[in-house]
Structures are given as structure tokens and as C-alpha cells.
Amino acid sequence: MTIEQAFYLLKHFTEIDSAAKSLFLANGFNEEAISQQLQTIGSKFFNSFCQSPFDLETQLKRTKPIEQIIQSNGRIAKVYQFDQEIGTEQVIEKEKIDLEKLIDLERNGILIQAVQLQELPKTNCIVVIKSKEDAWITAFPGKYAPAFPSDWMNATEKSVATVYWQNHLFITQK
């Protein structure tokens, strides 16, 4: 995992250990950039499971994927399951919430709908997405969720993603 890939993954952490923080600072990332990544809305790993993106590789060696999804852009998504809760989920089915409580949020420059809950659902799953060359793209706690519909998707994937995001929402914590 490169330092840039690890920095991107910070959005799925609430805090990191001092060794990882020192490594980011030594490689040109400033305190503000690190803090912004850590504060990004999204699913989060529990610090008790993983203290930095670099720890993910060690944790994944403890288990085998339970599912693999090959995307049309060549990326490979693998879902891993652990025997402990490893983090929080940030996506929920619309049918499980009161639609009167929807809010609009900005995520990656796109306005999305979300719901605020007192407590985020916990998960024992991790999704890891890598390129066909085995480079880290992303990793997050939770079940597999397709990317937002995008031009790189084939017609089937775009249809699946559209239906998925019509029926699911991001969760934020109150």
C-alpha cells in the first residue's frame, strides 16, 4: 500500500496511531489534511480493530474473502468477514427509516440524501477494492455497495448501481 493510498483510506478512520501520523507528516501531508480525511462522512473502522490503514493488510491475512465482485473497469472487490465487530456501516436501506427524516449532504462534491441516527450500525465485514494490478483503491467497513452510477460502468453495472442507490441512503450520526 502506498502512502497516497493509505492517506485516501483515512476517511474510514476516526483516529490513527502516532506512527502512522508521523509517516503521513514526513511524506508531505499536513495536520489539517489528515484531520479533514479523518472527519469525512463514511463508515469507520474501530480503533480496537485497526489503528491505521497500514494495519489493514495484517488484519486481512487472518481470513479469506467470502465474496468477490469483478467490476467492468477491472477493479476487484473482495468482502471479508470477521468474528468480531470491526467498525460501523454507513449505508442503510430506505425501507428501514422514516423518510421524513432525510437530509441533504455533500459527499465528494455531489449532493446526496442521508439520514441521521443516534447510533451507527456495527459490522463485522470489510470491503477491499483493488485494481487488476493489485493496487489499493479503497477499503471500508460494511457490506459491498456499488459505486454511484458512473460513465465507467457497463449498462448492467449502471442499472444495478442506480437501483441500489435508489433504495439505500448514507447514515450520519447525530
pLDDT attached to residue 88? 93
Outline where 29-170 has alpha helix (H): 31-38, 53-60, 155-166
pLDDT attached to residue 110? 66
In one-letter notation, the amino acid at residue 144 is Y
- Please classify residue 99 by burial: count the beta carbons closer than 10 Å to its beta carbon, then call 0-12 exposed, 13-18 middle and 19+ buried: exposed
The segments of the chain whose pLDDT lies below 70 read: 107-110
pTM equals 0.82
Helix H or strand E segment including 103: strand 102-107
pLDDT attached to residue 107? 65
In tens, the pLDDT along 36-73 reads 999 887 789 999 999 999 999 999 998 999 999 988 78
pLDDT attached to residue 34? 95
In one-letter notation, the amino acid at residue 27 is N
pLDDT attached to residue 108? 62
